[in-house]
Chains A and B, each alone.
Chain A
Amino acid sequence: MSENFNIDDISNLASIELSEDEKAKLQKDLQIILEHVDALKNIDVKDQKIDIHPLSKVLELRKDESKESLKHEDAMMNSPETKDGHFVVPPSIE
């Protein structure tokens, strides 16, 4: 997979514009990281339990009971602009 790695895709995903020089440097650096990951792939883990979360603690669940929320005025107090009980933000159309 690492040989198909494309620095343009990564810069696009991260929304960071890169110069040609930076691309060349990062291409090299990230390639080294991917090679490390490739090395990990060779480790035999078939008898290992999958560790899917960094914490070993188990999730605590809460009873479905509603409690008092923030007062409306408190919820809105830090908003620079409000209108009819709404937060107002610049137009954002997908």
Chain B
Amino acid sequence: MNLKATIGMETHVELDTKSKMFCSCEVVETDEPNISVCPTCLGLPGALPVPNKTAIEYIVMLSLGANCNITNEGMFHRKNYFYPDLPKNYQISQFDFPVGVNGFLEIVLDEELHSVEIERVHMEEDTGKSVHIGSGRIDSATSTLLDFNRSGIPLVEVVTKPVISTSKMAVAYIEELRQLVIDLGISKGKLEKGNLRFDANISVANEDSNELGTKVEIKNMNSLKSLEKAIDYEIMRQSKQIEKGESVIQETRHWDENKQVTISMRTKEGSADYRYFSDPDLPNMIIDEEFINNSKKNIQNLPLDKRKTLKESGLSLSDSNYLDKGDKWLYDLYLSTVENTKDSKSTFNFLTGELQGQMRKAEIDELPDWVDSEKISNLINLFETNEVSFTSAKDILAKLLGEDIDPKSYATDNNLIQSSDDEEIKTLVTSVINENQDIVERLEDPEDKLVGFLVGQVMKSSVNKVNPGSVKDILLKELFG
């Protein structure tokens, strides 16, 4: 039986505002509990919510960045459920008039572009945090501790249509969304801090079927790696069940990072369980053209635009996708460097391979002030024109990261410039041939691996000061004519 998986993603983005969504409590990052709380975010009776204008601007920016239509007349609903981290017993959210609808995000997988359709982008508020204490096992907790510093922080939920088919595609989608919110400047986008939290709705059905299989929601994936593993595991679990002729139960499952499996949590609620109704405390929210245009002014250089610029510089789609998701300084450095080198691939490889590799090794997060695109492009040009070997270029880079040097002067002063003087190379080649007659006699053709050995001997005798390409050419000419 050929089966296909269908995945829809629900992602919560924590907005980077100064104050909370419906009250003026400061958004704080602290371990000290319940220090930024007020009657509104504690859900005390009679407290009234007043929405944060910046949060609404941010959700409009995100909706526009995700190519959505904006709902001009929207509203807030109460989503009712009982849990101690939500003391009002309802979460202010949106139901049938979300801010953004029917959008898409373009994602890159290998060398292909895919479009992931976005169903809705809506505004809501975060809950408090609970800590269960007791004998260690969560199900034998003796009490629950509550901290409401997080309660009421603005959250945007972005929901895709069920159009994702693999775990890799889901990861690429989250990476694109994460970069979008960072480039928009509306969220820190740090997964490890919970700024982006995602659930996956997964169903498996017969490949020929037009209908989707039973939907299972997977929660508790807090890294891209666990997202990928949880989706792969769940597709396998459901497929096995279907192949055995058993039916899949509609439920919420929890990804267990230690056991690397999904575990049943509870049967899944339908929207009726939440008894949505319009929040009488919050009248209609008008998002008119003026508000939209003002929000648009803050949108520039999104991942899609950066990818276009990078592709125009000559990079492949996947290399462009890698750089548009990277640090801004690396993107800027690439663009200014490639202007001088005119070699996109070589510049990309040197920056993402050598430069980033050496920075990681030296545990440097930011480039030293003196390292600019001029020095980096001079260095790339030095080894691209064979003036220095690649090994020497790596050494020069290591030096450059530690102190302010001029790559060319350093190479000259330290005798790293390679000779391309044919006569000099010919002398070295002749001497190596004479010293290695036994090997020369065993050579069968120019492709023989022993040719490489002889090139190495010439390089060694020159102390790497000659260009290996020229050495090979001259050596082959001497040996095979």
Contact = CB atoms under 8 A, between A and B. Distances in A.
Contact of A93 (B42, B53, B141, B278): B141
A43 interface: no
Contacts of A64: 17-19, 52-55
A53 B39 CA distance: 25
B145 A61 contact: no
A41 interface: no
B153 to A, nearest CB: 12
Candidate in B51, B283, B286 with the most chain A CB atoms within 10 angstroms: B283
A56 B51 CA distance: 17
A93 B142 CA distance: 10
A54 B278 contact: yes
A84 B51 CA distance: 31
Contact of B97 (A9, A52, A55, A90): A52
Nearest to B20: A66
B143 interface: yes
Contact of B266 (A76, A85, A92, A94): A94
A23 B18 CA distance: 52
A25 to B, nearest CB: 22
Interface centre among A59, A63, A67, A83 (most CB of B within 10 A): A59
Contacts of A84: 33, 145
Contacts of B146: 86-89
A59 to B, nearest CB: 5
A42 B369 CA distance: 72
A43 B408 CA distance: 83
Contact of B283 (A13, A57, A72): A57
B24 interface: yes
A62 B52 CA distance: 5
Nearest to A52: B75
Contacts of A87: 34, 145-146, 148
A64 B280 CA distance: 23
Interface string A34-62: 00000000000000000011111111111
A75 interface: yes
Interface string B11-54: 00000011100001111000011111111001000000011111
B33 A85 contact: yes
B83 A91 contact: no
A34 to B, nearest CB: 15
A32 B401 CA distance: 80
Contacts of A60: 50
B283 A63 contact: no
A55 B283 contact: yes
Question: Which residue of A54, A57, A83, A94 has the most chain B CB atoms within 10 A of its CB atom?
Answer: A94
Interface in B105-144: 130-132, 134, 138-139, 141-144
B34 A66 contact: no
B32 A85 contact: yes
Nearest to A53: B284
A93 B73 CA distance: 38
Nearest to A83: B145
Given A66-B25, A94-B83, A88 B144 contact: yes
Nearest to B87: A87
B139 A93 contact: yes
A3 interface: no
Given A13-B273, A52-B75, A59-B51, A65 B24 contact: yes
Contact of A72 (B18, B35, B97, B143): B35
B234 interface: no
30 contacts: A13-B275, A53-B284, A58-B286, A61-B52, A62-B24, A62-B51, A63-B54, A64-B19, A64-B54, A65-B18, A66-B26, A66-B27, A69-B26, A70-B39, A72-B35, A75-B38, A83-B143, A85-B34, A85-B147, A86-B33, A86-B131, A88-B145, A89-B146, A90-B143, A90-B144, A91-B141, A92-B83, A93-B132, A93-B139, A94-B266
Given A64-B18, A88-B143, A93-B138, 14 more contacts: A52-B97, A53-B284, A54-B278, A56-B284, A57-B284, A65-B18, A66-B25, A69-B26, A70-B38, A76-B34, A91-B134, A91-B144, A94-B83, A94-B265
Give the top 8 A-B pairs by smallest Cβ distance, nearest first. A64-B54, A66-B26, A86-B145, A61-B53, A67-B24, A91-B141, A66-B19, A87-B146
Interface of A: 9, 13, 52-67, 69-70, 72, 75-76, 83-94
